[in-house]
Amino acid sequence: MTSVLYDVPGPRAIRRNRILAVLTVIVVLAVVGFVVYRFAATGQFTADKWRLFTYPLVWENVWAATLRTLSAFGAAAVLSIVLGLVLSIGRVSVHAWIRVPVMLFTELFRAVPVLILMMIMYYGLPPLGVTFVTPFVAVVTGLTLYNGSVLAEVFRAGIESLPKGQTEAGYAIGMRKSAVMLYIQYPQAVRAMLPVIISQLVVVLKDTALGFIVTFQELLYLAKFYGAQVTFGSPIIPSTIVFGTIYILLCLALSGVAKWVEIRTRRSPRIARQIKAIPAVPGVGVGGAGVID
């Protein structure tokens, strides 16, 4: 490990590190042990509480809820990327009457909590006579407006990181502005930003769980429903464990893709150089830490 923080350890440091390692193990075991003990003491591991999850019908419903979660995620992901592309084009426009409204739009929707956006759709619009707002529509719209705005900034950061010579070369060989964008700027920007874009999609996937609050019948909604079944001893904790595992596996899979893409792009020296040059846009960074929730 090359670290800026520590030297190669000498004999005393090695001994100290061993003691710290043992202490960490003890503390972690104590915490995990306590949680497991409380689970056991309150009967969370009894067969009765888990019996619910032995029925095939239950798993069919779980599967259906997973599909609903994934369809909300898929729709929101595609629409966010489209919206992000459109907004990022507007953001770099030379016409102030396009640039300024687009800037206000992105700043506005980045500042409003996603849940409030969903509530505006779900509770706010129907009394005004808007009838098509199902929970699904509310969830997808909320996610799209927010993540589209975030992705617009990501695309913009990607374009701004390109060396100026790239655009100039495009104009020099007689390309129009649209061609420069389509063939020169965006392909490079998207490729450099791919890890950040996918990491932001993990945020979309996680935030579909907010749909539970506006009565969208996705995984968490079902978790609460099954957790409240009195006939099975209200297995809310077993239910949280089962549904939590599903969520974590889905998100880990997507995070894994992001990490894989990042390693692959880093292997290409040209893109790696470009990623390094990406300016510090507030909240947008490379390496996962800058992804906004």
Partner 1 sequence: MDVLLNNLDIFVEGFKNTIILFVVSAVLALVLGTIVGAMRVSPVPVMRAVGTFYVNLVRNTPLTLLMFFFAFGYPKLQLGNLSFTTLAIIALSLYTATYVAEVLRSGFNTVPVGQAEAARAIGLSFGPTMSLVILPQAFRAVIPPMMSVFIALLKNTTVAAGFSVAEAGTIRSYLAERGEPAIIVLLWVAAIFIVLVSILSVIQRRLEVRWRVAR
Query: Of 84, 158, 195, 227, which lies in the binding site for partner 1, with binding defined by CB under 8 A?
Result: 227
C-beta of residue 148 within 8 angstroms of C-beta of residue 84: yes
Beta carbon nearer to partner 1, 167 or 240? 240
What are the structure tokens assigned to 93, written together?
Answer: 């426009």
Residues numbered 81-100 forming contacts with partner 1, rule: CB under 8 A: none
- If binding is defined by CB under 8 A, does position 51 make contact with partner 1? no
- In Å, what is the CA distance from 33 to each residue of 39, 67, 202? 10, 35, 31
What are the structure tokens assigned to 274, written together?
Answer: 């470009």
Q: How many whole angstroms separate alpha carbon 247 and alpha carbon 209?
A: 9
- If binding is defined by CB under 8 A, does position 223 make contact with partner 1? yes
Q: How far is CA 274 from the centre of its chain?
A: 23
Which amino acid appears at position 253 of this protein? A
- If binding is defined by CB under 8 A, does position 290 make contact with partner 1? yes
Q: How many whole angstroms separate alpha carbon 263 and alpha carbon 240?
A: 33
What are the structure tokens assigned to 71, written together?
Answer: 């369809």
C-beta of residue 233 within 8 angstroms of C-beta of residue 49: yes
- If binding is defined by CB under 8 A, does position 292 make contact with partner 1? yes
- If binding is defined by CB under 8 A, does position 196 make contact with partner 1? no
Q: Binding pattern to partner 1, positions 7-46, x when CB under 8 A? A: x-x---x---x--xx--xx--x---------xx-xx-x--
Q: List contacts with partner 1 (CB under 8 A).
A: 1-7, 9, 13, 17, 20-21, 24-25, 28, 38-39, 41-42, 44, 108, 110-117, 119-120, 123-125, 127-128, 202, 206-210, 212-213, 220, 223-224, 227, 234, 236-237, 240, 243-244, 247-248, 251-252, 255, 280, 282-283, 285, 287-290, 292-293
